[in-house]
Structure 1
Amino acid sequence: AWLDEARPTARPGIWRFGYRPPKEAPERVAPVTVVGMLVPLALAMLVWSLWQRGVTSYQYALLRLFTPDDWWWGGTLASPKVFEGREVAAPGAEALVIYEGLAFAVLVLLVAVLGSWHAIVSHYVTRRPQPARALISALLALVVLSFVFPDAFPVVGWSPVPLVDPLLSLTVLVSDGYGLMASRLYTDTLYAVVTLLVVWPFARLGGWLPYARTLLARRAAAPTPGVPVVRPRSQWPALRDVGQYEAADLLTGEVTRGTVNDVDCARIENAFSAARRGATLDAFRDTVLRRGGTAWTHPSGARDLRRRTASHDLLAGQVRIGRWTAAQQAPLPYQDAGAALGPEVLGTSLLAVGPPGSGKTRALVEPVTEALALQALTGACAVVAVSAPGAPVCADDAFDVVVRIGDPASVHDLDPYAESDDPDDAAAILAEALVGDLDTVGAQGAVTALAQLLGPFRAVHGRFPSLPELHALLAGEETVLTRLGEALAASGNDVMRRELDARVRQTGAPGDAGRALADRLA
């Protein structure tokens, strides 16, 4: 079951084993926002009612400003004259219709902007899946069209909004006659254009065109011959896809019997990936058929750690270190999800900040080191863990070799000279390790200082000095240097004695590399 558990793709830091992405809760519009939408609408209805009653003498000021004075009776606000014998007998009446249409358009625009109607309608419509989104926008378009063309909807009984009539009046004034009004082609075209202009915003809101393309693409797509069988991971589908049926059946049986663990499965998957890259699938099959779940076992023979302190998912390369908080401030995918570190994080760098004793080692460093040790057992990496004395980062049995530098009881130790027998080579190797970022010591000066000590010491003792002995020599301790010089004199090795004398003369001099190297060894 653990092998077949879903491991969906998730954001970095989320425990993928059995992770179920949370469903995004629908965002509700705050009551204040709804009130802010309705208040401008109510005010606009009041203003329009007062406008139609003509309660103020200033509402027609712009109309009188942009129209000839002889269109209106003197002493009136906007009472149009009737001219006998003209094609357009009352141009003022037509201008009044156009003016009311413009006033209505400005009022609608102000309501939409002040009430944030576009944002609110988009919130409720665009987030819905198709075809619900298209249907809702179509219903809204029909509602608006019922206000523009109420005669086309027998069930409604209200008057049309001033949209079509102002356009017809504008046609009369521009053409200076009613000839176009008598043309069925012109009026039908005008109605069609108005309908398209009204419907177009709702078509964009509902995504009609993309949805229509999707439907057409589905109809044009060739029918699939059949849905392929999706095998669970415990049946090793990747092996079956390349024809490795025997190996897959053998491993499936071992998984069913429980004779393999997660380390074995991850190790075999790594070996299979390497075999595919190297085109050595036949050798892979032979090894699996011969050794089964123990194939490619770590050279130590270990197939697992003796003790695990954290939860691991080797197939995803993750180690769980806790759980993300369910606070509202946390991003939704992280809320109450398991917290884990995986290759995408461990492959970069990690900085843990906290006071001493806060649990950085126990809750972070130890699980990460344990995860790397498990990955090493799968053949995915090699691990070198460095810690301070008395502060282990993992149990000793998680490593093949444990080196305690300077501890006489340690079974293993580091050879600072890399098993070299030549003093010059050993000096070069050690100098490269010690100089590092030292600004006061050059690499060549460090090599010379070390060679002047390593050669004489090896000539006397037949070995290179231990680190404490080397520290004393570099620090220029008189007793140690005198004893070494006397031993060289007694052996008659004048060459090495001259090397040592040169080092003694340089000890304490300005620019001497010995003291800086001794400080590095301290």
Structure 2
Amino acid sequence: MDTEGTSGAARERGVRDGTGARGAAVPHPARPVTPPPRPAHAPGERGSSAGGTFLTWLRTPRPAAAPGVWRFGHRPRPEQEPERTPTRQLLSGALIAFLVGWLVWSLLWNGYLGGWWLLPLYAMIPDSWASPHSFASVVVVYLYYAVFAVGIMVGVGRLGRWGELWRRFGYPAWRRAAPAPTVRPPAPDEDPATWPQLREAGAEAAAERLGADARAGLMRDVDHARIARAWQGVKRGRHSLAAFTAAVAKEGAAACPHPSGTRDLPARAARHDLATAQVRIGAAADDERNPYSYRGVGLALGPDLIGTSLLAVGPPGSGKTGSVVWPLAESLCLGALAGRAAVVVVGAAGAGLGAQDTYDVVVRVGAPDSVHDLDLYGGSTDPDEAAAVLAEALVGDLADPHPGGDSRRSTTVLAQLLGPYHAVHGRFPSVPELRQLLDGAPAALGALRTALTDAGHHAMLRELDARERQLGHPGDVGAVLADRVALLDRPAFASFFDTSGATRPFSLRALDHPVRVRIDLPERGHADASRILARLVLAQFTASVAVREDRSLFACLVLDDATGTITPQSVRGVQRLRSANAGAVLTLRTLDDVPRPLRSPLLGAVGCRMALSGLTPWDGQDFAEVWGKEWTEARDVTDRQIIAETPAGKALHAVRRVITGRAPTARAVTVRQVERERWSASDLAHAVPPGHAVLSLTTVRGDHAPPLLVDLRA
């Protein structure tokens, strides 16, 4: 069954012929992928032949929680920290209270306090029971003693906090330390393994087959998520209920496959929960800076958070790639296999972003054996749109951060050449051809003019005339564009960016489908070209996701090193991703890699901000400003020396000074509300331990979590 754009040979041919047009299918993987055998257990867990591990995973509760909380098996904590009495004080208080209660009872029992406490008893019982030798009198008196004893016990128990002592050291503590009891399977109409939503809709055969595969250990978490995604398409009316039921009844857990035929990744490096689309990245530290409800709780990221985009800043070795980028990329790749995400991962070759088998398309720019090429124009057929994206890539880092800079002029210059060339040839120029046109080579411009005249494109002739008039004039950015294009016109890239149809270029227009893409940038000897390509991919991504037809598919760009890619246009593009059900993950070694006028807009454009250990104080200052301040309770303690006025008091103070070595003082405590920074620049630079980070989160719905100290190794 074709569900959610996850299969179809016709779509794949659209990418194979190099058109890259919208509606093209997911390109096939860089190397042939053989569908793996059906697993005996859920990925990442020790399985059993009966599928018990998968069923346990599926039935584990996932309660609603605050943003960023790892919901798998989460136990909510109170918002405020309960008052906790020190153990020594608790034990001593309980013992003293017991002794006081025992003393009071002894005094009553032995009659040292007189018989007044028996007067209410004799006032209530009949005179016939007043005889001390009657059975009724003995029973009533002892019951009266028991009532007084219980009352004394309750009073001293409250005074000595016996309840807290029992909860801390008694049976409740032993129960918490003991292994969790086996959870009974839920009722059939509430068991997710029986797919009750399918039964209610009349797909009994599909529900029976899926339930049987789950019990037999033939289903994994990716299968469950993928079929659930296909069922959403049925409920929205995009697919037929009969076709879905027939496909699932026939194929079972393998139904509705991804175009690659893959049902899981070769290996997993992080903990994933596909039921909530979360990936665990660590745990909130048990630190007083963190809210009590977050302390010690696992932290996770998902599309609901990445949809607001994430910026991670930290020096090399702080854990950006291994602890943040790769787990997120792995989670999005699993989401793509489940048919609910499309991911583009951009980084240097060998950056630790997964094996080639993890992706459907691997573009290795500058590698002769690369199967796929990169479309320089993003699959666009509109010269103005292609010119805007290409201008952003070529001179984005040189553009004036204020409106009216070089980016607009560069777009105009490129449009004056791309429009006439496309009108004549039906395609855009290759890199060498574009360089000649920007250089103003007479032969190239003359040939283009002749072709336009022969074809009768008079409007395009006026565009070309305008370009020729600007050649050589002061302020013309054509020479700058030609120099930038020359960085791509190198022997290492001779087989790339072809527009004649001889290669298989990948276009980001394919993000309408659950595709997994990795783009390796050339770092050695081509650092400037790598930054141009990174800006190109970022510009194409923000332009492509905004015009997608199906926005139910979450699209994400993971840029392992965003140095040199932050421009005014890219900041505006990142701001618009949230409304397009898309997001971007950007990492930087330092905020100094971003122009000063763009640092605050960048931090304001992303909803999730991460400052890793080793941050510089000036970088910390920018984070401290964007995180703002909060009202906290400040306690000022003042010690005032006590002056004795009488001879006895002076003598007592002298003895106390000899014993303690200090003068007698009286302590005064003043409590007041003050406004302080959540995290100061100094704290971010010096108080974040290695392997930790400070992370603030915002969901696409507007919920947010304050900056949290996170242990990325937990």
Q: TM-score range by the shorter chain?
A: 0.5 to 0.7
1:440 aligns with 2:440: no
Match of 1:285 in 2: 245
1:254–1:409 CA distance, 2 compared to 1 (3 A): same
Q: Which amino acid aligns with 1:399?
A: Y
Shift of 1:491: 10
Contact 1:441–1:516 (CA under 8 A) maintained in structure 2: no
Contact 1:457–1:484 (CA under 8 A) maintained in structure 2: no
> Paired residue for 1:313, among 269, 273, 276?
273
Contact 1:434–1:520 (CA under 8 A) maintained in structure 2: no
Contact 1:321–1:364 (CA under 8 A) maintained in structure 2: yes
Name the SS for the 1:14 alignment partner: coil
Shift of 1:387: 2.9
1:245 aligns with 2:204: yes
Residue pairs, 1:195-210, within 5 angstroms: none
Q: Which amino acid aligns with 1:21?
A: P
CA distance in 2, matches of 1:387, 1:378: 24
Q: Which amino acid aligns with 1:242?
A: A
Match of 1:510 in 2: 474
Match of 1:256 in 2: 215
Report the RMSD for the aligned CA atoms in angstroms: 4.2
1:334 aligns with 2:294: yes
Match of 1:212 in 2: none
Shift of 1:266: 0.4
Q: Which amino acid aligns with 1:15?
A: W
Shift of 1:360: 0.4
Q: Which amino acid aligns with 1:27?
A: E
Higher normalized strand content (fraction of residues): 2
CA distance in 2, matches of 1:338, 1:492: 64
Name the SS for the 2:474 alignment partner: coil
> Paired residue for 1:378, among 320, 332, 338?
338
> Paired residue for 2:83, among 27, 36, 39?
27
| Runs of 5+ consecutive residues of structure 2 not aligned to the other structure | 1-55, 91-118, 122-185, 488-714
Contact 1:311–1:320 (CA under 8 A) maintained in structure 2: yes
1:444–1:486 CA distance, 2 compared to 1 (3 A): closer
CA distance in 2, matches of 1:229, 1:499: 70
Shift of 1:257: 1.6
CA distance in 2, matches of 1:329, 1:413: 49
Name the SS for the 2:361 alignment partner: coil
Shift of 1:315: 0.7
1:335–1:384 CA distance, 2 compared to 1 (3 A): same
1:458–1:273 CA distance, 2 compared to 1 (3 A): closer
CA distance in 1, matches of 2:423, 2:188: 71
Name the SS for the 1:322 alignment partner: strand
Q: Deviations over 1:327-374 (max 9, x none)?
A: 354333333222211232122122212112211011101111111111
Name the SS for the 2:385 alignment partner: helix
1:340–1:519 CA distance, 2 compared to 1 (3 A): farther
1:442–1:241 CA distance, 2 compared to 1 (3 A): same
Q: Deviations over 1:393-413 (max 9, x none)?
A: 443322211223454432212
CA distance in 2, matches of 1:449, 1:10: 50
Q: Which amino acid aligns with 1:233?
A: P
Q: Which amino acid aligns with 2:471?
A: T
Match of 1:231 in 2: 190
CA distance in 2, matches of 1:22, 1:492: 72
Name the SS for the 1:249 alignment partner: helix
1:299 aligns with 2:355: no
Where relative contact order (Cα < 8 A, 6+ residues apart) is larger, the structure is: 2
Q: Deviations over 1:186-213 (max 9, x none)?
A: xxxxxxxxxxxxxxxxxxxxxxxxxxxx
Q: Deviations over 1:265-318 (max 9, x none)?
A: 001111222222328433332221122112111112111112221111101110
Shift of 1:506: 2.5
CA distance in 2, matches of 1:497, 1:330: 65
CA distance in 2, matches of 1:508, 1:265: 63
Q: Which amino acid aligns with 2:411?
A: A
Name the SS for the 1:510 alignment partner: coil
Contact 1:266–1:378 (CA under 8 A) maintained in structure 2: yes
Match of 2:230 in 1: 271
Q: Deviations over 1:129-149 (max 9, x none)?
A: xxxxxxxxxxxxxxxxxxxxx
Shift of 1:240: 3.0
CA distance in 1, matches of 2:472, 2:466: 12
> Paired residue for 1:6, among 33, 49, 61?
61
Q: Deviations over 1:402-432 (max 9, x none)?
A: 2234544322122234567xxxx66423212
Match of 1:206 in 2: none
CA distance in 2, matches of 1:406, 1:465: 19
CA distance in 2, matches of 1:29, 1:324: 24
1:442–1:414 CA distance, 2 compared to 1 (3 A): same
CA distance in 1, matches of 2:285, 2:271: 18
Residue pairs, 1:70-219, within 5 angstroms: 154=120
1:431 aligns with 2:486: no
Contact 1:446–1:514 (CA under 8 A) maintained in structure 2: no
Q: Which has the larger radius of gyration?
A: 1
1:28–1:244 CA distance, 2 compared to 1 (3 A): same
| Runs of 5+ consecutive residues of structure 1 not aligned to the other structure | 35-152, 156-226
Residue pairs, 1:480-495, within 5 angstroms: 481-482=441-442, 484=444
TM-score w.r.t. length of structure 1: 0.52
CA distance in 2, matches of 1:248, 1:489: 66
1:21–1:492 CA distance, 2 compared to 1 (3 A): closer
Name the SS for the 1:15 alignment partner: coil
Contact 2:281–2:324 (CA under 8 A) maintained in structure 1: yes
Shift of 1:485: 6.0
CA distance in 2, matches of 1:398, 1:380: 16
CA distance in 1, matches of 2:429, 2:450: 19
Residue pairs, 1:444-459, within 5 angstroms: 446-447=411-412, 449-452=414-417, 455=420
Contact 2:420–2:452 (CA under 8 A) maintained in structure 1: no
CA distance in 2, matches of 1:6, 1:498: 67
Residue pairs, 1:379-398, within 5 angstroms: 379-388=339-348, 391=351, 393-398=353-358
1:493–1:240 CA distance, 2 compared to 1 (3 A): closer
CA distance in 2, matches of 1:489, 1:230: 73
Contact 1:373–1:383 (CA under 8 A) maintained in structure 2: yes
Contact 1:319–1:340 (CA under 8 A) maintained in structure 2: yes
Q: Which amino acid aligns with 1:285?
A: T
Name the SS for the 2:300 alignment partner: strand
Identity %: 46
